[in-house]
A and B are shown apart, each in its own frame.
Chain A
Amino acid sequence: PLLTMQLMPPGYTFFINSHTSFGKFISEIKPQYLSPVALYRSKRMVLDSVGVGLIGSTTDVFELALQHCQHMHAPDPISSVYGRRGIRLSPTLAAFVNGVATHSMDFDDTWHPATHPSGAVLPAVLALSDMMPANSKPSGLDFLLAFNVGIEIQGRLMRFSNEAHNIPKRFHPPTVVGPMGSAAACARLLSLDPSQCSHALAIAASLAGAPMANAATQCKPLHIGNASRLGLEAALLASRGLEASPLVLDAVAGVAGFNAFYEDYVPQPLKSPSDNDNGHVFLLEEQDMGFKRFPAHLGMHWVADAAASVHKVLVGVDPGKVSPDQVQDILLRVPLSKYINRPFPESEHEARHSFQFNACSALLDGEVAVQSFSPAAMSRPELHALLSRVRLEHPQDNPANFNRMYGEVQVTLVGGDILKGRCDTFYGHWRNPLTNESLRKKFRNNAGVVLPSEKVERLIEAVEELDRLDDCGALLSQLE
């Protein structure tokens, strides 16, 4: 039942309503509730996120974010920075730049309902772990528990709203649920009490929310960087006694809380395992994660796979390169979503959010890869020729929803032949997950850009053993 603020008499410290139930859960959850499936899936997420962060440390936007932190603040020998040996920053700043790195190429994991959960949480948990004294670092299992709490809270919050189930239009989801997940994970790692955990979430809510208009710009990676940083900040402020509303997650008429970010919103309390004979089932066990095979918005993966199948046919018929001269018309049947409909993207950020660009790249090259977004690749005349022949259709049966959408590429050749490719589930989607081998290959390609191969292999091992490590420092030390 909803308890309104005005009914709270003085002296009351803790009501159980939706908001405070979340605080209680975060404080009371224990590692024993992490099932083998949750451990397995979350370790894959940690590995992928680290790899994506490492390659992300080579981007301009990361450099900019790092430069900003270094200008505004002095070096602080606490938390390490992806791909930069010898540079350490204050924990929230490290969380910030590492979060920026993670999302810099739109290469990070995506969940359903849609958000990029790991980038908002892992950098904060790493930075916080670095902050803890050397002789009392969290165990690997505590680390994983905090990480999973951060993911879980994000998943639970997104299920409060139908709007969250579709490709976003107003607020960028990582900015809404990301800070909440980060705050939860950090509160867990700091072992805050239920009331403090509750306040951490509420403080984070006042830091949540950025609009979609900055997606497909250089600013977007900061959404994840800030989610990570601000969630950590919220937890640290709560640990110092800062208090906020105990009703943020509840829907109080006339005073918006978390529901400010959604048009429809129905909160549910979260049962703490101590109150629940059945323990706790993490959402990750029921809903797996999508991992990207190339650095672009998730929606691109469908059209890329569809276009790749057409490419295969084309080079099968006429071995060699695909030439624009062969192509008369390209029709893409995709969901309706303005911010990923860009006929002639002008920056790498726009290109990662362009059905047209990714379809044409895959048509030309047989795949989309990291290099597809380089300035050279982006400015190819053949690519531009193809782009000018693309039309989009938005079939009624193709919803803007990562669980139900499809991508169709229909190429009409100059001779009149029509080639069709369709992808319902791309390889890497939660319905068709990357094998461990594919995931490690992606990790090696990414991490190898920045780290020597021995370190890369040791990282793979450290993550694999994470739940058995007494001291997560073994993982932390490999990151530099």
Chain B
Amino acid sequence: MLRKGITESFGAAIHALNATHLTDGVIHRSKRMMLDTLGVGLLGSRTAVFNKALMYSQMFVSEQRSSVWGRSEITLPPHYAAFVNGIAVHSMDFDDTWHPATHPSGAVLPALLALAETLASRPSGLDLLLAFNVGLEVQGRLMRFSREAYNIPERFHPPSVVGVMGSAAASAKLLGLSPAQCSHALAIAVSSAGAPLANAATQTKPLHIGNAARRGLEAAQLAQIGLEGNPAILDVANGLGVYYGDYNPSPMADSGAFRWILEDQNVAVKRIPAHLAMHWVVDAALAARAKLRDTVGTFDLSQIRQVTLRVPPSKYINCPLPASEHQARHSFQFNACSALLDGQVTVASFDRAQINRPALRELLSKVEVETPEDNPPSFDKMYCEVEIGSAEGRSAAARCDTFYGHWRKPLSQRDLVEKFSVNASSVLCPEGVEGLIDVVGNMEKVSECSVLGSFLRMTSNREQLYRTRIM
């Protein structure tokens, strides 16, 4: 369906949106997202996938250099800084999730920070906030072009489709590109979109976000020096539409009746480094566990005869016997059993030793998965039920409709900052941790947003010693 001027309207809007359009609500929410993203990225800088990407990226030389989060002594060419930092953010599946489903921040913030560190114009905190929100908004708008986007994906991994578009839009904003250049940035970015879902639950999945950040930035820079793509890339059926079964684009208003999507649709912030759906099953498992314990007096694993999970249908998160941390993060069964076994699911639950525990494997063998008709594969409508059947014939069941951290039940500010502090402290010294909380908390008043980079590099002495030893 060809409607004139949709791509044009996006280019115009990206160009025209300015700081006066930012509302208190949007500033508040997006600062929370920034803080959370930095924290998970810092924690992620200790992962194997991040290290592999970092080693690879160090092959490249450049004059301009950008910070690598959680590393005091390494910088990278901006594209590769965006790449590795984006990978860090998604490395443990601990980053924010939106509805329709994508991980919006990881595709945008690493690109913006890498870019900001190189700009002579020295963008302010408000500039960063604006560009960040433009990047989110574009992603949200594009996902609303398709009904398919509202459900848990089956074909393309959403961050690889809309994430690169958000990064291109945000980068174009920060670069101050003209409306036409903004449109071309989007067009160029579409040719970098679309990774199939098959690599979810593998070590390569984090690269989907890293590449979205990197290639969106690249698209904006190519547009800046004059590269042109299809000026109707969002309008035509064989443009962005190729990634969707149904595709119905509409124009974006640049002023007047403009309202940020983030104003009306908040993100979910994860408490567990696992696929979002795991959060429901964990909360339900913990509640069922508590019920059984309250009934019986103690909670005894050996008493468990069967565990039944009632979950939405989604093949890539249905994994009875995960063999890697990546599979474990995408396994209803694993997360339910970890919760039952330990009374909590944390970062440590996904260590190799924990995954291979005999007690866990035994419990996993008792799990049955059902996919009730009334449980749709949608993060807005799904639920999880956990029913534990004990040997004596007792059972306890619990249901979770909305986990704590979901957009319907957001993390308190205290708990959000606590998550950040725990994550960031694994890598940074207290000065770095506090500095980031402070800068992000006051982002709209910060005169140079690149100050974030210096805090992101303030590793603790313990970290520095560790790095020195292995070098």
Inter-chain CA distance A219–B184, complex, in Å, is 10
Does B314 touch A at the CB level, under 8 Å?
A: yes
Q: Which residues of A contact B221 (CB under 8 A)?
A: 68, 71-72
Q: B215-274: which have CB < 8 Å to A?
A: 218, 221-222, 225-230, 232-233, 236, 238-243
Q: Which residues of A contact B55 (CB under 8 A)?
A: 240
Does A254 touch B at the CB level, under 8 Å?
A: yes
Inter-chain CA distance A244–B196, complex, in Å, is 12
Inter-chain CA distance A80–B340, complex, in Å, is 58
Q: Is the CB of B52 within 8 A of A241?
A: yes
Q: Select which of A12, A90, A203, A260 is within 8 A of B204 by beta carbon.
A: A203
Q: Find the B residue at minimum CB distance from A241.
A: B52
Q: Is the CB of A243 within 8 A of B195?
A: no
Q: Select which of A223, A226, A256 is within 8 A of B197 by beta carbon.
A: A256
Known: A68-B225, A72-B221. A205 touches B195 (CB 8 A): yes
Q: Select which of B196, B229, B238 is within 8 A of A206 by beta carbon.
A: B196
What does the 1/0 interface line of B173-198 toward A look like (CB < 8 Å)?
00000000000000110111111111
Q: When A and B form their complex, which 9 residue pairs have the shortest distance between CB atoms, in order from nearest?
A: A254-B315, A257-B198, A213-B239, A210-B191, A244-B204, A206-B195, A219-B229, A260-B196, A256-B155
Q: Which residues of A contact B225 (CB under 8 A)?
A: 64, 67-68, 71
B424: min CB distance to chain A, Å: 26
What does the 1/0 interface line of B355-392 toward A look like (CB < 8 Å)?
01000000000000000000000000000000000000
Q: B73-123: which have CB < 8 Å to A?
A: 77-79
Does A268 touch B at the CB level, under 8 Å?
A: no
Q: Is the CB of A170 within 8 A of B238?
A: yes
Q: A1-49: which have CB < 8 Å to B?
A: 5-6, 8-12
Known: A72-B62, A241-B52. A214 touches B197 (CB 8 A): no
**In the complex, given contacts A217-B187, A240-B55, A240-B56, what are 17 additional A-B residue pairs having Cβ atoms less than 8 angstroms apart?**
A10-B321, A11-B323, A68-B218, A72-B62, A72-B77, A170-B238, A205-B195, A206-B160, A210-B194, A211-B238, A213-B242, A219-B230, A233-B56, A240-B52, A243-B203, A252-B198, A257-B196
Known: A241-B52, A242-B52, A248-B196. A73 touches B61 (CB 8 A): yes
Q: Which residues of B contact A160 (CB under 8 A)?
A: none
Inter-chain CA distance A61–B227, complex, in Å, is 7
Q: Select which of B226, B236, B316 is within 8 A of A64 by beta carbon.
A: B226
Does A104 touch B at the CB level, under 8 Å?
A: no
Q: Is the CB of B227 within 8 A of A213?
A: no
Q: Which residues of A contact B446 (CB under 8 A)?
A: none
Could you list 22 examples of A-B contacts with CB < 8 Å? A6-B318, A10-B356, A61-B227, A65-B227, A68-B225, A68-B227, A72-B77, A90-B61, A171-B242, A202-B198, A206-B199, A210-B191, A213-B190, A213-B230, A214-B191, A217-B229, A218-B228, A219-B188, A240-B56, A248-B196, A256-B156, A256-B196
Q: Is the CB of A205 within 8 A of B356?
A: no
A101: min CB distance to chain B, Å: 15
Inter-chain CA distance A245–B202, complex, in Å, is 6
A323: min CB distance to chain B, Å: 35
Q: Is the CB of A214 within 8 A of B227?
A: no
Does B5 touch A at the CB level, under 8 Å?
A: no
What does the 1/0 interface line of B296-324 toward A look like (CB < 8 Å)?
00000000000000000111101111010
Does B438 touch A at the CB level, under 8 Å?
A: no
- Count residues of chain A with CB under 8 A from any CB of chain B: 65
Report how many A-B pairs have Cβ atoms within 8 Å.
205
Q: Is the CB of B198 within 8 A of A205?
A: yes
Does A209 touch B at the CB level, under 8 Å?
A: yes
Q: Which residues of A contact B203 (CB under 8 A)?
A: 242-244
Q: Which residues of B contact A392 (CB under 8 A)?
A: none
Q: A210-228: which have CB < 8 Å to B?
A: 210-214, 217-219, 222-223, 226
B367: min CB distance to chain A, Å: 12
Q: Which residues of A contact B319 (CB under 8 A)?
A: 5-6
Q: Find the A residue at minimum CB distance from B330.
A: A5
Q: Select which of A209, A219, A243, A255 is within 8 A of B193 by beta carbon.
A: A209
Does A376 touch B at the CB level, under 8 Å?
A: no
Inter-chain CA distance A64–B229, complex, in Å, is 13
Q: Which residues of A contact B188 (CB under 8 A)?
A: 214, 219, 222
Does B459 touch A at the CB level, under 8 Å?
A: no
Does B451 touch A at the CB level, under 8 Å?
A: no
A195: min CB distance to chain B, Å: 13
Q: Is the CB of A260 within 8 A of B236?
A: no
Q: A52-92: which have CB < 8 Å to B?
A: 61, 64-65, 67-68, 71-76, 90-91
Q: Which residues of A contact B466 (CB under 8 A)?
A: none
Q: Which residues of B contact A61 (CB under 8 A)?
A: 227
Q: Which residues of A contact B56 (CB under 8 A)?
A: 233, 236-237, 240
Q: Is the CB of A64 within 8 A of B202?
A: no
Q: Which residues of A contact B434 (CB under 8 A)?
A: none
B423: min CB distance to chain A, Å: 24
Q: Select which of A175, A218, A254 is within 8 A of B229 by beta carbon.
A: A218
Does A253 touch B at the CB level, under 8 Å?
A: yes
Does A120 touch B at the CB level, under 8 Å?
A: no
Does A258 touch B at the CB level, under 8 Å?
A: yes
Q: Is the CB of A90 within 8 A of B60?
A: yes
Q: Find the B residue at minimum CB distance from A233.
A: B56
Q: Find the B residue at minimum CB distance from A347.
A: B228
Q: Which residues of A contact B191 (CB under 8 A)?
A: 175, 210-211, 214, 219, 222-223, 226
Does B154 touch A at the CB level, under 8 Å?
A: yes
Does A431 touch B at the CB level, under 8 Å?
A: no
Q: Is the CB of B192 within 8 A of A72?
A: no
Q: Find the A residue at minimum CB distance from B323.
A: A10
Q: Is the CB of B196 within 8 A of A258?
A: yes
Inter-chain CA distance A244–B207, complex, in Å, is 10
Q: Which residues of B contact A284 (CB under 8 A)?
A: none
Q: Is the CB of B59 within 8 A of A247?
A: no
Does A391 touch B at the CB level, under 8 Å?
A: no
What does the 1/0 interface line of B327-367 toward A look like (CB < 8 Å)?
10000000000000000000000000000100000000000
Q: Is the CB of A237 within 8 A of B197?
A: no
Q: Which residues of B contact A217 (CB under 8 A)?
A: 187, 228-230
Q: Is the CB of A206 within 8 A of B208?
A: yes
Q: A156-206: which have CB < 8 Å to B?
A: 169-171, 175, 202-203, 205-206
Does B16 touch A at the CB level, under 8 Å?
A: no
Does B201 touch A at the CB level, under 8 Å?
A: yes
Inter-chain CA distance A208–B242, complex, in Å, is 13
